Amino acid sequence: MNALPSQHVPVLLNEIIEWLVPRPGAVFVDGTLGGGGHTRALAELVVPGGQVIALDRDPAAVEAARDSLAGLPVQVVHANYADVTEVLAGLGIADVDGVILDLGLSSDQLADESRGFSFSAEGSLDLRFDPSRGEPAVRLVNRLSAERLADLIYMYGEERYSRRIARAIAQRRRHEPIQTAADLARLVRSVVPRSRTGHQIDPATRTFQALRIAVNDELKWLEVALRRTSHVLKTGGRMAVISFHSLEDRRVKEEFRNNSSYEPLTRRPIQATPEEIQRNTRSRSAKLRVAARTTK
């Protein structure tokens, strides 16, 4: 059965094309395939003679892309982007012209009720990119002590109400376990006040971010990928990373600044234009940084 068409709209697409400069014969890696938007745009511009190697930890994204990208010069691989060196070696590719990582969730993941990424999802609170690996978030929230939960939510979500949230979770699970994303979101909203200034974000956002980062080891794999990717880029090849919160952006900025294999090309992160934000509100928090591979 063919997968449903992707609902995802790629962010900063024009900027990615401008900075990665795809051309006929070039080879690129999209380490976060997702809905395939960036992959498709790159693949259409590297013909003839070029190709895009597209990786994703999410088997559903991989399956969908094999249908939606058929006929384009794309090789789709179910893999963690931190394993880019091994993936390229297995394909007989020594180095590439550019790499992109888009660290945001895809609309397809949010739409899948069984995954728990959406605050309204009534399926299990899973939050894993690869459901076959690791511990789902539902086990974390029902297993960890209130103190450890509070530390996790504060460290990965930068949530100042982390202890209040953790106490509410511990109190709730004495009577019944938390099962779904909607369960958790309602509980967090009941103890966290909404912001009175700036644009409104759901009070559950930072808690969900923290749990998702924890179950997927996102920051660890990002750090590994940033270090390892420099070894697969050609001299002058470019690395582009789109992040969506300060924990990610800080690591990208520091690696580009401190790793002598990279030369930062963007002094400040590039953000979406007002026109793009109006078309796609999820682009509002996106930040793009680009670096070039220095001489080996």
Range of 68's domain? 13-108+218-293
Residue with tokens 């106490």: 167
Instruction: With beta carbons less than 8 A apart as the criterion, state whether 35 and 112 touch.
Output: no
Domain end position, chosen among 197, 216, 235: 216
State the maximum Cα–Cα separation within the chain, in Å, rounded to a whole number.
62
Distance CA 12, CA 61 (A): 20
Local structure of 92: helix, strand or coil: coil
CATH code for the domain of 169 = 1.10.150.170
Q: Quote the pTM value.
A: 0.92
Instruction: With beta carbons less than 8 A apart as the criterion, state whether 35 and 105 touch.
Output: no
Residues 6+ apart with CB under 8 A from 2: 67
pLDDT the model gives residue 106: 79
Across the strands, what pairs with 124? 180
Mean pLDDT by 10 residues, the chain (296 residues): 59 97 98 95 97 96 92 97 97 97 84 84 91 93 97 97 97 94 95 72 93 96 96 97 96 96 96 94 94 87
Domain end position, chosen among 187, 216, 245: 216
Mean pLDDT over all residues of the chain? 93
Q: Does residue 48 have a cis peptide bond before it, meaning omega lies within 30 degrees of 0?
A: yes
Whether residue 8 lies inside any domain: the answer is no
Please tell me whether residues 154 and 65 are part of one structural domain.
no
Domain end position, chosen among 216, 240, 258: 216
Burial class (CB in 10 A: 0-12, 13-18, 19+), 272: buried
Residue with tokens 């990928």: 225
Backbone angles phi, psi at 32, to 5 degrees: -135, 75
Dihedral sign (CA 102, 39, 233, 82): positive
C-alpha 45 chain-centroid distance? 24
Whether residue 104 lies inside any domain: the answer is yes
Report which secondary-structure segment, H or E, holds 76. strand 74-78
Task: Provide the phi-psi class of 217: left if phi over 0, else alpha when psi is between -120 and 50, else beta.
Answer: left
Total number of domains constituting the chain: 2
Q: What string of DSSP letters covers 183-245? A: HHHHHHHHHSPPPSSSS---TTHHHHHHHHHHHHTHHHHHHHHHHHHTTTEEEEEEEEEEESS
Please tell me whether residues 136 and 192 are part of one structural domain.
yes
Instruction: Summarize pLDDT for 67-84 with one digit per residue, the tens.
Output: 999 999 999 999 999 999
